Amino acid sequence: MSLGGLGAREGRRASLPLLPIFSGALLLLGFFQLGRELISFSSQQDALQDDVRVAGIQVGGLSEAQAQDRWEEVYLEQPIKLVYNDSPILLSPESIGFRTNNEAMLAAVRGQSGRQEDFWAAL
């Protein structure tokens, strides 16, 4: 009597479970891609829209902090020219105590961009 038909495997070795390994790798890759997209979306939320102008200064594509630095650079580093009796007078904004109203300007930026404050509320 032969034992070949009683469930004994002759010459076949155990193989790797390729389908579960491949499926698991694809799931990990999918979760990695989801994380990358969320990070990318979050960083885009930090940037202002391209067409935003505040007080005549183009600040589109910048973050709020970069926009604030930009208008402070423009308004606080350029001298102010006053004309009195046809005589020009140049004053440094810092010497006369000139300051930008950052809160009002940031409110104007937020109003123009139409974006939401909370990233997770946008989802």
Tell me: do 39 and 66 sit in the same domain: no
Tell me: do 96 and 79 sit in the same domain: yes
Tell me: do 53 and 90 sit in the same domain: yes
Percent of the chain with pLDDT over 90: 20
pTM: 0.50
Task: Check residue 87 and report its DSSP letter.
Answer: E
Provide long-range contacts, Cβ within 8 A and 24+ apart, for 29-37. none
| Structural domain boundaries, residue 104 | 49-114
Question: Is 119 in contact with 42 (CB distance < 8 Å)?
Answer: yes
Q: What is the pLDDT of residue 22?
A: 94
Q: Is residue 12 part of a domain?
A: no
Q: What is the pLDDT of residue 75?
A: 81
Tens digits of residue pLDDT in 22-63: 999 999 999 999 999 988 877 666 677 777 888 788 887 788
Q: Is residue 4 part of a domain?
A: no
Q: Is residue 9 part of a domain?
A: no
Tell me: do 54 and 42 sit in the same domain: no
